[in-house]
Amino acid sequence: MSKSFKTFLKHTAKDFHNHSVNPPVVRASTIIFKSMNDIRRTQSKYKKDPRGGHFDYGRQGTSTTHILQKILTKLEDSYHVFLTPTGFGSVFLAIFSVVRPGDEIVVADPVYNPTRVLTQDFLKEFNIKTTFYNPHDLKSLNKIINKKTKLIFVENPGSNSFEFQDLSKIISIAKKRKVFTAIDNTWATPYFFKPMKLGFDMSIVSATKYYSGHSDVMGGSLAVNRKVFKHVEKAQKIIGLRLGPDDAYLITRGLRTLDVRLDKHQENARKVAEFLSKNKQVKLLYPYKKGSLNYKLWKKYYSGASGLMGLKIKTKDRKSVIKFVNSLKLFGYGYSWGGFESLALHQSKAERGNRIHSDIKEDEKIVRLHIGLEDPKDLIEDLRKSLKFIK
């Protein structure tokens, strides 16, 4: 990408044919041709270049989805990007593409709970074994890998608990043992961190979150390198995962302001983090404390931090934590995040998943905050009033 990230997002994919700043929405199930020769020529082009936007059926996409793929491929510095209807669809596609019955996979313990259910329970029914590793003990990761291991699946930072890992060490281990790697990079997006440049084979982003930015679209992206491209291409054809053109259009439009929004999310989150770090009632789960392990590992790989953070609250009075959350006036209550609005959720143990290496004790409650684009002074004041309810 010759232009800077910020300039590229503003100038890419203009439609000079229709004289519009944004590309049009092209909806199609049947792709129409002038003749059978036309069809065969297109199919021949697809065989030569599967990434080139040569479609003979709507399940493969339209020009609208192809434009989004090209934009994200440049942002990720990847060989190609596949699109799915949800972020979790990209998680499934990444794993399904490279793992078969009899194989084993190794997964970071603090992953998104649906990812845990997929790997720990669902894949077990297909004779695929999952082992979870401690994100801060990579020596044990090396010991877990064996001849049957096909994939290391990373989420960084950890879901809800926000552990940061030494990613280059994971890549080094994987390459020595000839194991595929995938990472869920939704928290940072390639604006703050590019996993493909570090050496990951696959990078997942839930486009539902910051790519869209307006809490009204669902989608996922799976960036891949040349080594796994054929595996993923074959799997997507078989599964039939497809992002619709209307969602692709909205995600493309959202990407225009990705940098502006993430810069502001980060600015607001830092101000809120500074306030929360002074409160003795909570332990802040966010890379703010210089000298801490999480801060060092974040600083080593990331150019910035997004708006998602956690609070670890030590109390036996669960109801007081619920009262704290319920008393917030400027934070909405709902799943997902990455939109313009602030959100708060009390995360139960069941929602975090049955973790093996967790350092969250029974008397510690987790509240997840997404810091939106409101005036941070208002958010801080809202939190100040509500924190008084914690006992």
Domain ranges, residue 355? 259-387
Spatial separation of the C-alpha atoms in residues 337 and 340, rounded to whole Å: 9
Check whether the bond before 50 is cis (ω within 30° of 0): no
Q: Is there a contact between 255 and 211 (Cβ–Cβ < 8 Å)?
A: yes
**Same structural domain, 166 and 280:** no
For 262-315, the pLDDT digits (tens) are: 999 999 999 999 999 999 989 999 998 898 999 999 999 999 999 999 999 999
- Same domain for 224 and 265, yes or no, is no
End-to-end CA distance of the chain: 52
Which of 23-32, 44-53, 142-151, 354-363 bottoms out in mean pLDDT, i.e. has the lowest? 354-363
> What is d(CA 172, CA 143) in angstroms, rounded to the nearest whole number?
14
Amino acid (1-letter code) at residue 328: L
Give the per-residue pLDDT at 2: 57
Supply the DSSP symbol for 332.
B
Task: Please determine, for residue 71, whether its predicted confidence score (pLDDT) is greater than 70.
Answer: yes
**Residues 272 and 227 reside in one and the same domain:** no
Residue 11 and residue 72 share a domain: yes
Would you state the structure tokens that stand for residue 222, as one six-digit string?
């799976």
Asked if the model's pLDDT at residue 77 lies above 60, the reply is yes
Q: Which of 207, 230, 255 is the last residue of a domain?
A: 255
Bridge-partner residues for 104, per DSSP?
129, 149
Which pLDDT belongs to residue 130? 98
Secondary structure (3-state) at 76: helix
Q: Using one digit for the tens of pLDDT, what is the confidence trace for 323-346?
A: 999 999 999 999 999 999 999 999
The residue count of the chain comes to 391
Looking at the fold, whether 149 and 269 belong to one and the same domain comes out as no
382 pLDDT more than 60: yes
Which pLDDT score is estimated for 356? 84
C-alpha separations of 319 from 114, 161, 348, 391 in Å: 26, 21, 12, 9
CA 2 to chain centroid: 25
224 and 169 together in one domain: yes
Q: Are residues 230 and 138 in the same domain?
A: yes
Mean pLDDT along residues 150-177: 97
Burial class (CB in 10 A: 0-12, 13-18, 19+), 39: middle
Q: Which of 206, 225, 255 is the last residue of a domain?
A: 255
Are 218 and 130 contained in the same domain? yes
CATH number at residue 370: 3.90.1150.10
Q: Note the pLDDT of residue 316.
A: 85
Residue 70 CB coordination number (10 Å): 17
Q: pLDDT-derived band of residue 353, with 50, 70 and 90 as boundaries?
A: confident
Domain end, chosen from 255, 289, 309, is at 255
Q: What is the pLDDT of residue 388?
A: 94
My answer on whether 13 and 128 are in the same domain is: yes
Q: Are residues 340 and 282 in the same domain?
A: yes
Report the distance separating Cα 144 and Cα 257, nearest Å.
Answer: 42
Average pLDDT, the chain: 94
Q: Over 60: is that where the pLDDT of 1 sits?
A: no
Q: Residues 199, 323: one domain? A: no
Q: How many domains does the chain have?
A: 2
Name which of 375, 277, 259, 387 is nearest 321 in CA terms.
387
Whether 355 and 302 map to the same domain: the answer is yes
Q: What is the DSSP letter of 118?
A: I
- For residue 230, the surrounding DSSP H or E stretch is helix 226-239
- Tens-digit pLDDT profile for residues 227-276: 999 999 999 999 999 999 999 999 999 999 999 999 999 999 999 999 99
Q: How does strand 149-155 pair with strand 129-133? A: unpaired
| Per-residue pLDDT at 358 | 75
pLDDT band at 348 (very low <50, low <70, confident <90, very high): confident
According to the model, what pLDDT value does residue 282 have?
94
Give the CATH number, domain containing residue 159.
3.40.640.10
Cβ(352)–Cβ(161) below 8 Å = yes
